[in-house]
Amino acid sequence: MSSIEQAVILAGGLGTRLGELTKGTPKPLLEVGGKPFLAHLVGELRRQGVKRILISGGFAGEKLTAAFAGQGDVTVRIEPEPLGTGGALRFVAEDLDERFFFMNGDSLFDIDVWDLDRAGADAPAALALRRVEDAGRYGSVDLDGEFIIAFGEKRGPGPGVINGGVAALSRAILDLIPAGRAVSIEAEVYPVLAARRELKGRIYEGAFLDIGVPEDFARSHDWIRAVLAGRA
């Protein structure tokens, strides 16, 4: 059986690229396919058997708390100020298991999380990767076998392999996240692990959606219905 029972979802971003849609609402709570996008993520984790879910929020945190009130398997923690993707993880350090899944609250990657768990069982971290036709918006990932060895800057239009926003992490990763300031796990932590050959990556071909820009949010309603229809 897997050693992972917990997933951490980041839901603290401001979502400024979506304009008025996120003026008073956290981006992960925007309605997609009839319910908040974040509810789809939580539902998918439950479907796959994850026992406990920790949501790390910030902006309009009271709405996140209200959205999951009374759901015993979900805990919401609200950071006092924006701490970045790594700082948010350190903020909830006391709530973390020894190993856990870690994902963005504004994207959905249709993968088997237990396969990622197995891929990273002997490493501090493993990332779910995705081939895309245009990696320019995200920045590419370079692989050497099962190890991620570098993270490229955004290189302009063109195909590539990207970080799909889902990871299996060890609590030991907190040693690389300084306290007391905002930290980007993508820019400041993962590259250190990659240089040490301690960061694994596995490419998946599942459906992938990031609702962070208006054009992707606009297509997210039909996209989510199509993915859910595949569950029937």
Q: Which residues pair with 131 in a beta bridge?
A: 161
Q: What is the pLDDT of residue 180?
A: 85
Assess if residue 117 is contained within a domain.
yes
Q: Distance between CA 186 and CA 208 in Å, rounded?
A: 19
**Cβ contacts of residue 153 below 8 Å, gap of 6+?**
139
Q: What is the pLDDT of residue 137?
A: 77
Assess if residue 94 is contained within a domain.
yes
Residue with tokens 């979502």: 15
How many CA atoms lie less than 13 Å away from 97 in the CB half-sphere?
18
Domain region containing 109: 6-127+165-182+214-229
Token representation of residue 232:
């029937």
Q: Which residues pair with 103 in a beta bridge?
A: 9, 166
Assess if residue 209 is contained within a domain.
no
Give me the tens of pLDDT residue by residue for the chain, a chain 232 residues long: 457 999 999 998 777 888 888 999 999 999 999 999 999 999 999 999 999 999 999 999 999 999 999 999 999 999 999 999 999 999 999 999 999 999 999 999 999 999 999 999 999 999 999 998 888 778 789 999 999 999 876 666 788 899 999 999 999 999 999 988 999 999 999 999 999 999 999 999 999 999 988 898 999 988 888 877 666 5
Q: What is the pLDDT of residue 1?
A: 45
Q: What is the pLDDT of residue 115?
A: 97
φ, ψ (nearest 5 deg) of residue 208 = -135, 135
Assess if residue 190 is contained within a domain.
no
Give the total number of structural domains in the chain.
Answer: 1
pTM exceeding the 0.85 threshold for the entire prediction: yes
Taking alpha carbons only, the member of 119, 90, 111 closest to residue 48 is: 111
Assess if residue 156 is contained within a domain.
no
> In Å, how far from its chain's centre is CA 218?
20
CATH number at residue 98: 3.90.550.10
Assess if residue 78 is contained within a domain.
yes
Assess if residue 143 is contained within a domain.
no
Q: Distance between CA 133 and CA 192 in Å, rounded?
A: 27
Assess if residue 121 is contained within a domain.
yes
Residues 215, 138, 29, 184: is their CA dihedral positive or negative? negative
How many CA atoms lie less than 13 Å away from 28 in the CB half-sphere?
28
Pair type for strands 141-144 and 147-151 = antiparallel
The DSSP code sequence of 18-78 is GGGGGSSS-GGGSEETTEEHHHHHHHHHHHTT--EEEEEEBTBHHHHHHHTTT-TTEEEEE
